[in-house]
Structure 1
Amino acid sequence: MALPPENEKRPASDTGHEIRQLSVSSSSSDETAAEGQGSKSSTRGGRYHPRASRLDDIEDIDDTALGRLASNPTRVRTRSRSRSNLPPPPDGGLQAWLQVVAGWLVIFATWGYLNSFGAFQSYYTSGGLPSASPSTISWIGSLQGFLTTALGTFSGRLLDAGFFRPTFAVGAALQLAGIFAMSASDHPQYWQLLITQGILTGIGGGILFTPTLGLVATWFGRRRGFAIGLATLGNSTGGILYPVIVRQLLPKIGFGWTARVLGLVNMVCYVIAFLLMRSRLPPRRSGALVDWAAFREPVYVLYIVGLFLFVWASYYLFYYVSFHYGFLFLTTLRPRAFSIISSMTGHVLGLSYSEASFLIMVINGAGLPARVLMPMLADKIGALNVITMCTLSISVIVFCWFAVSNVPGLYVFTAFCGLVSGATQSLMPTTIASITKRLDMVGTRMGMCFSIISFASLTGPPIGGALQSAMKGSFTGAQVWAALSTLGAGLCLLGARFYQSGGKIKVRC
């Protein structure tokens, strides 16, 4: 058979195949090292057949530019390397589960400590801060909770950039500095507590919280929901134990030493977590602080709007327990409502301090099983599917708000609120990871989400209080607003699921 002349132009299809081979060969060693596994290719009939995913990297190359690319293969190599796959999560193993343990410790020491503010507020309102009103005191805890979530945009991006350990160290140092600074006096002034317990510990917790959950998410794929659910158990566990510690120690050893004990507990948790936690993904140093492209994705936008509406109403919903049966503080701005149940509930129902404080443990304890079972279900049928069902369920609970009028009803209502709310909160980070295509973007997108919904936690309770004030103390307006908000949250998540599944019903998403 005669060979074609050397200067004869080859067909475009052959040239394209040659370029594809060049791209694959130039990047195969890099991608093999990144993925931790060999290239799954074959040679049938003496020809190289790359995987389909390799071809996807260059399918959008214009055919008219093939000649130029052939003469400059560096361009092909750069493109392929920039779009190489990230290493897949191990989804188990000792190192991965140690991240869950460390995550539990961090959530326990951040949100668990924050949950103890209810016991502190009882102390402040009963004589610790005699010159400050309860609504003024509540600003301490309000700022602490707001900052713990609002700083996620900044701290989450630091995780993706590969700065987890220095970020962790700074956050832990700031929170511990705030705790030990507030312990400097047995009779601190209001402004001192606002700076130390409110702002400083809030900033420290905000630096720690989002990167920790994002890091745990990067170690798991198929079991991600279960792993994050176990880590968020620290929230409910801390919500039970910290208030008990504060309530038992304050009368015996005083305010200063109680704060020091809490600081020592948190210090031990952070030291252990710092030694255990390891970043797995290569750093993504380039990229903006905010992923603006996420707001062009209907799934992400609907999900954020749904969570905002859920947090907006649910934080005021918890206030209902204290408002309806306690003092009618129309301007209280404390977003973590269960933190002040113990200080208000007993005034109308005649409950003792310890009995009223038990409601805090009811809310947090009821969420414990849900934080394990719902994430396990999410791993099987999809996180977005499960969180949508949970949000619609809490909407039903809010519509049952009108029927609560006695002590047994109060406890049942509180338990169901804690159960469904705990399930929803444990699935928030899992769902963000599931709808994020790149694992090295999880920290950024998770931080964006938490920063946005932090404003819902800050504004929800005062909106409900303003509605009560406008209706001269009646809860009807606030009940309608909360019910419609939770219903809107469920519908938004249902819309996000529709886009994610392509309108199909029996789809894991």
Structure 2
Amino acid sequence: MSSSTDSDIALEQKGALKTPTSTTVSESVDPPPEGGAKAWMTIVGGWLAVFATFGYMNAFGVYQDLYTREGAASASRISWIGSTQLFFLIAMGLPAGKLFDMGYFRSTVIVGTVLYVFSMFMLSLAHPDKYYQLFLSQGVGMGIGSGLLYMPAMAVQSHHWQKRRPLAMGIVISGSSAGGIAYPIMLNQLLHHSDIGFGWSVRASAFLTLGVLVLACILMIPGPPKPKTQVPSLKTLVTDTPYILTVVGVLCCMLGLFFPYFYLQLYAILHGVNSTLAFYTLAILNGASVFGRTLPNMLAEKIGLFNTLVPITAGTGVLIIAMFGVKDAAGTVVLAVLYGFFSGAFLSLLGPTAAALSNDASEIGVRMGFAFFVAAFGALVGTPVDGRLLGSTFDWSKAIVFSAVTTFGGAALIGAGRMFFAKRKASQVV
């Protein structure tokens, strides 16, 4: 987006695009405090909640590889399990965001914890070759439960932070990276290097998750209730040009973003990479995303959320294209590190950007929830389309091109949203 108008550039110099503080906040809503013991406890609790939910989701590549190579179903059918789980994790942001805005934070996360852990134990009782059992427990049950946890864990940070909100949310979502390191290593070691079997391997991860989520629910503390304001209607959301362009752009990106998360381990093994190293590719990818989920958020406080998000999104598309050149162990590791950083940065900037596009602090939950709900459809169909394109012969070129093109298209739409947002702020300044 180098063709910014002079007014856009001048606006950025005035700081109008820098942080969510540039939104218009109702005078009736007091701004949240900056920090404090409760705020940092809530960050730690949110980090743990995201560790156990999105972090576990980032380990689905282990299951994708296991189910595919054991012949439970085709790659495309199996990916529907993971994409359905991912869909509900993100899409449940709409009802969870509404409940959050209504003041039911604590009830929502407790129900989410019970359903999520129960479904994980049900997965441990499923037979790896019974597709419907895997789909219901892992795809539907764990997906809905995690969705009731993920969105509130992110949105509650807005009760404690305003100026440093992007950094706070970035720290919280970095929990998904840590979970994406711990869970794949744990599951691969238990599944492939022990004799306890599928059931107890999953149960071990379920007991760990239970302890983490109980602690998370204790540590997360919502702020005082916000004054009741009118919730924006669907018409208001879809006619808000900068907002809806950004949301559709994220939808397009989600079609391609999770391709490496689901398929990189399988890709490495089928290209002759040592299986031991291949089992660590997801851990490497998620390890690198720790930095991607924090450092760009710090940069966004200086140069603006959109000015950080657009090039990060385009860079993610470039790295998907780079998979054409990955044929050995060294290339796989380099790709995993770079893709983890860029994709992690993209995911960590979504929440703060949606919050910045809110007109009032009391509608952040609805704005974030609607954005996540729409984007979830991209996550739902993207990886199954990849699996269909791969087919039984694993023609990687079609899936790579599809994922890259959708990501580039999303970057263009987000860039257009940035331009309209700049024009709106310019008119308000004038």
Q: Distance in 1 between matches of 2:327 and 2:119?
A: 41
Where does 1:269-348 land on structure 2 (aligned, <5 Å)?
Answer: 269-283=212-226, 291-316=234-259, 318=260, 338-343=261-266, 345-348=268-271
Structure 2 distance, partners of 1:178, 1:203, is: 10
- Structure 1 position 481, deviation (Å): 4.3
Letter of the structure 2 residue corresponding to residue 197 of structure 1:
Q
8 Å Cα contact 2:255-2:406 kept in structure 1: yes
Q: Does 1:104 pair with 2:27?
A: no
SS at match of 2:32: coil
The 8 Å contact of residues 67 and 128 in structure 2, kept in 1 or not, is answered as no
Secondary structure at 2:223's aligned position in 1? coil
Please give the alpha-carbon distance, in whole angstroms, between the structure 2 residues aligned to 1:267 and 1:233: 19
1:296 is displaced (CA, Å) by 1.5
Q: Secondary structure at the match of 2:153?
A: helix
Mapped contact 1:390–1:423 kept (Cα < 8 A)? yes
Segment drifting more, 231-240 vs 488-497: 488-497
Aligned mates of 1:348, 1:113 — CA distance in 2 = 26
C-alpha distance in structure 2 between counterparts of 1:270 and 1:248, whole Å: 23
Residue identity opposite 1:117 in structure 2:
F
Considering Cα pairs closer than 8 Å and 6+ residues apart, tell me whether 1 or 2 has the greater RCO.
2
Q: Residues 320-378 of structure 1, C-alpha deviation per residue, up to 9 Å, x if partnerless?
A: xxxxxxxxxxxxxxxxxx244334531332x2322111211221112111211111111
Residue 304 (structure 2) aligned to one of 367, 378, 382: 382
Gaps of 5+ in 2: 1-23
1:393 correspondence with 2:315: yes
* Distance in 2 between residues matched to 1:403 and 1:115, nearest whole Å: 24
- Residues 81 and 139 of structure 2 are in contact (CA less than 8 Å); yes or no, is this contact kept in structure 1? yes
Q: Equivalent residue for 2:366? A: 444
Could you tell me whether the CA contact under 8 Å between 1:218 and 1:439 is conserved in 2?
Answer: no
Opposite residue 192 of structure 1, the aligned amino acid is Q
2:356 paired with 1:434: yes
- Contact 2:181/2:287 (<8 A) preserved: yes
Q: 1:236 aligns with which of 145, 163, 177?
A: 177
State the one-letter code of the partner of 2:57: L
Contact preservation (8 Å) 2:39, 2:161 = yes
Q: Distance in 2 between matches of 1:202 and 1:138?
A: 14
Measured at CA, do residues 279 and 396 of structure 1 come closer, stay the same or move farther in structure 2, by a change above 3 Å? same
Change (3 A) 1:482 1:245: closer
1:263 to 206, 222, 225: 206
Structure 1 length normalisation: TM-score? 0.72
Of the structure 1 ranges 233-242 and 278-287, higher mean CA displacement relative to structure 2 is found in 278-287
Relative to structure 1, the CA distance from residue 113 to residue 279 in structure 2 (aligned partners, 3 Å threshold; closer, same or farther) is: same
Moved more, 241-250 or 97-106: 241-250
Give the 3 Å change call, closer, same or farther, for CA 390–347 of structure 1 in structure 2: closer
Residue aligning to 2:124: 183
Is the 2:95–2:369 contact (alpha carbons within 8 Å) kept by the matching residues of 1?
yes
Superposed CA RMSD: 3.0
Answer whether contact 2:83 2:384 (CA < 8 A) is retained.
no
Mapped contact 2:103–2:225 kept (Cα < 8 A): yes
Please give the alpha-carbon distance, in whole angstroms, between the structure 2 residues aligned to 1:114 and 1:445. Answer: 23
Q: Secondary structure at the match of 2:298?
A: helix
Partner Cα distance (2:72, 2:321) in 1: 39
| 1:85 Cα offset (Å) | 2.0
What is aligned with 1:485?
406
Aligned to 1:202: 143
How far apart, CA to CA, are the structure 2 residues paired with 1:459 and 1:399? 20
Q: Which amino acid aligns with 2:378?
A: A
Residues 464, 178 of structure 1: alpha-carbon distance in 2 compared, 3 angstrom cutoff = closer
Change (3 A) 1:299 1:185: closer
Going from structure 1 to structure 2, the CA distance change for 1:197 and 1:107 (only over 3 Å counts) comes to same
**1:214 Cα deviation after fit:** 0.8
Classify the secondary structure of the residue corresponding to 1:345: helix
Instruction: Indicate the residue corresponding to 2:419 in structure 1.
Output: 498
In 2 relative to 1, CA 462–139 (structure 1 residues): closer, same or farther, beyond 3 Å?
closer
Q: Show the counterpart of 1:363.
A: 285
Give how far 1:398 is off. 4.2
The CA distance in 1 between the partners of 2:75 and 2:257, in whole Å, is 21
Residue 160 (structure 1) aligns with: 101
User: Runs of 5+ in structure 1 lacking a partner?
Assistant: 1-55, 58-82, 319-337
Measure, in 1, the Cα distance between the counterparts of 2:203 and 2:162: 39
Q: How does 1:47-196 map to 2 (within 5 A)?
A: 84-125=27-68, 127=70, 132-184=73-125, 189-196=130-137
Report the Cα distance in structure 2 between the residues aligned to 1:395 and 1:186, rounded to whole angstroms.
Answer: 37
Q: How far off is 1:177 after superposition?
A: 0.9
Structure-2-length-normalised TM-score: 0.84
Deviates more, 1:150-159 or 1:111-120: 111-120
Q: Structure 1's 248 and 197: CA in aligned 2 closer, same or farther, altered over 3 A?
A: same
Given the superposition, is the C-alpha separation of residues 253 and 226 from structure 1 closer, same or farther in structure 2, using an over 3 Å criterion? same
Q: Does 1:225 align with 2:151?
A: no
Distance 1:399 1:200 in 2: 34
Please identify the structure whose Cα radius of gyration is greater: 1
The CA deviation at 1:379 is 1.9
Structure 1 position 463, deviation (Å): 4.0
How big is the shift at 1:457?
1.4
How many residue pairs end up in the alignment?
402
